[in-house]
Amino acid sequence: MVIRERIISFGEDGSLFGIASFSADKERREPILIPNAGIVHRIGPHRLHVRLARALAEAGYPVLRFDLHGLGDSGPPSPEMGFEEQAISDISAAIDAMRTDSVTIIGLCSGADNAMRAAQGDRRIRRLVLLDPHAYGSARASASRLIEKAADPDRWWRAASRLMGGGGVDAVMRPGHEEGELEEAERLPIAKEEFAAQLDAVSKRGGRVLIRYTDFVRETLTSAAHFHAAFPEGRFGKFLTIDVDRETDHTYTALSAQQRLIARLSDWLESTDTARDKSA
């Protein structure tokens, strides 16, 4: 399998910068865009975006991983636009650059937020893969988390250490911040009703969405059932798929976590490609 990559600049003034990956010997499928995750360069955290792009290109998907204005190698943002408006404009320009009327966007963290916002007004965005988008709690999820904490022997050991005034054991056992948590703390949440309305807008035009959470949201939800419990029963149909990978941290540090993600995306993209072909 021969994968080719080329540098492209695009946008009205050519100030947006990205890397296009594509197969030289496979029929081309629907293009995929991967914008920045937070303020991380287009390679993605731990080179996640590079590995995603190359693996999906091998499957026949042309992939563009790119920097938004003000990030990586792209030019400065317009002083006339706010961050959200600029991101939507940049994603639209990336779709134009791929010369397509149907595209999939993969976004992590704020990249998921930007992808969702762009999809509200751009009908060319047919599929969304949202990695650790906003998460919403429920009574069911809270009860499950309390039970899980109560059954955790390490948690009891840490509590005992604090009561005895011993900082040593507690310091060793206390988990540290994951990479990306401090950035996530600056990310503004949106109301649950607004998030649901955004999903509904994609659904009404026949779009498909895969939401994949990691252990980063463990204090809010730990299963797909918890996600659905936060919304009215039956609110979302088959257009929406929810995954929770509790073996993965927010930035996909472990190579095994990245490999699981690639395998899952490949399966989901294939299944939604097939569903579209049957309905055509």
Cα separation, 259 vs 275, whole angstroms: 24
- Which pLDDT tens digit goes with each residue over 165-210? 654 433 333 333 444 443 554 678 899 999 999 999 999 999 999 9
- Laid out side by side, the sheet with 32-34 consists of 3-10, 16-23, 63-67, 32-34, 103-108, 125-131, 208-214, 240-245
- Here the tokens at position 184 are 């996530």
CATH number of the structural domain 3-138+192-279: 3.40.50.1820
pTM (predicted TM-score): 0.85
**Vertex 48 angle, CA 198 and 68, to 5°:** 55
* Domain extents in the chain: 3-138+192-279
Is 70 exceeded by the pLDDT of residue 141? no
Cα separation, 239 vs 203, whole angstroms: 6
Query: What percentage of the chain exceeds 70 in pLDDT?
Result: 80
Cα separation, 192 vs 40, whole angstroms: 27
- Say which residues have a Cβ less than 8 Å from residue 14's Cβ, sequence separation at least 6: none
